[in-house]
Amino acid sequence: MAITGRGKGWEMRNSIWMLWAILTFGFLNYVSFYYISYRVKQRKWFFAALIYSFIFIMTMVLTEVFPEEHWMTDVVIAAFLIGWIFSIVHVFKIRTEYLLRLEATITTGQKAKEIQSLKEQITREYGGTVEAASKTAAVSRVMKQKSEEKVDIVDINTASEEEIAKVPGIGALFAKKVLEARSRENGFTSLDHFVEVLSIKPHLAEKMKPYLAFPEKTQTSSLEKTEGRIVDF
């Protein structure tokens, strides 16, 4: 049964590295681990390669330094063969993990290539850099959203809590305080009255001002109309 989604054929081709451990009688078993650690960027297999390399090097050194010490040579060779057998068991044990990691690495690499290819296509079609194109598109979306948004002027003395909450700078929590203050003050007579009662900071007041209507506006417009009349006696 296949371990990965790529089939047994792919898995067999990507298991050839195991032969370095199986067929070399321990002389090159470390090559298997160096290879797979490089392919899937796993340090634990790199460290295993270092250990098998150390066993091989120490075997060569000790047999050369103490050629007449037969008992030591026998011990070293025995340890070397045990290390070789252990490396064979090791490669079979990690094969499944390696194939799964390799498949994930290849899949991720393919996705990265597809993304890069798409970026290059966008650059060719629209010119400039992809980043610039992305920023331009983002700005366009924001401008479009703002143009589509309809902001109504709210009569602060008659508006509902939901309507007041939509005013820039107020929000849902502050809208409750506005209603409480409006009830307590029997309505707001002007923007200054509104700001004073609720202790609103100047920069927030300026932000809210274009969206709020107060009685003072109506009174002002009435006075302007009166001043413009010609009264006959």
Structural domain spans, the chain: 7-126, 154-224
Q: 91 pLDDT band (50/70/90 cuts)? A: very high
30 close to 46: Cβ distance less than 8 angstroms: no
What average pLDDT is seen over the chain? 80
Q: Which residue has the tokens 């650059």?
A: 123
| pLDDT value, residue 154 | 82
- Worst-scoring range by mean pLDDT, 5-19, 56-70, 115-129, 165-179? 115-129
**Digit-coded pLDDT (tens) for 18-49:** 999 999 998 999 999 999 999 999 999 999 99
% of the chain surpassing 70 pLDDT: 76
Mean of pLDDT values over 132-145: 56
* Those residues with Cβ within 8 angstroms of residue 130's Cβ, 6 or more apart along the chain or in another chain: 119, 122, 123
Radius of gyration of the chain (CA): 40
For the CA atoms of 221, 223, 226, 227, the dihedral, rounded to the nearest 10 degrees, stands at -110
Give the Cα separation of 31 and 84 in Å (integer): 12
Mean of pLDDT values over 134-148: 55
| pLDDT value, residue 140 | 55
Instruction: Provide the token pair at 116.
Output: 């890069």
Give CATH for domain 154-224: 1.10.150
Give the Cα separation of 45 and 182 in Å (integer): 72
Instruction: Provide the token pair at 87.
Output: 């490396």
Give the Cα separation of 9 and 94 in Å (integer): 18
**Digit-coded pLDDT (tens) for 52-74:** 999 999 998 888 887 777 777 78
10 Å CB burial of residue 159 (0-12, 13-18, 19+) is buried
DSSP 8-class letter at 25 = T
Half-sphere exposure (CA, 13 Å, Cβ side) for 162?
0
Give the Cα separation of 73 and 34 in Å (integer): 28
* Those residues with Cβ within 8 angstroms of residue 198's Cβ, 6 or more apart along the chain or in another chain: 177, 178, 181
- Enumerate helices (H) and strands (E) in the chain, giving the number of each: 11, 2
| pLDDT value, residue 219 | 44
26 close to 83: Cβ distance less than 8 angstroms: yes
Q: Does the model's pTM come out above 0.85?
A: no
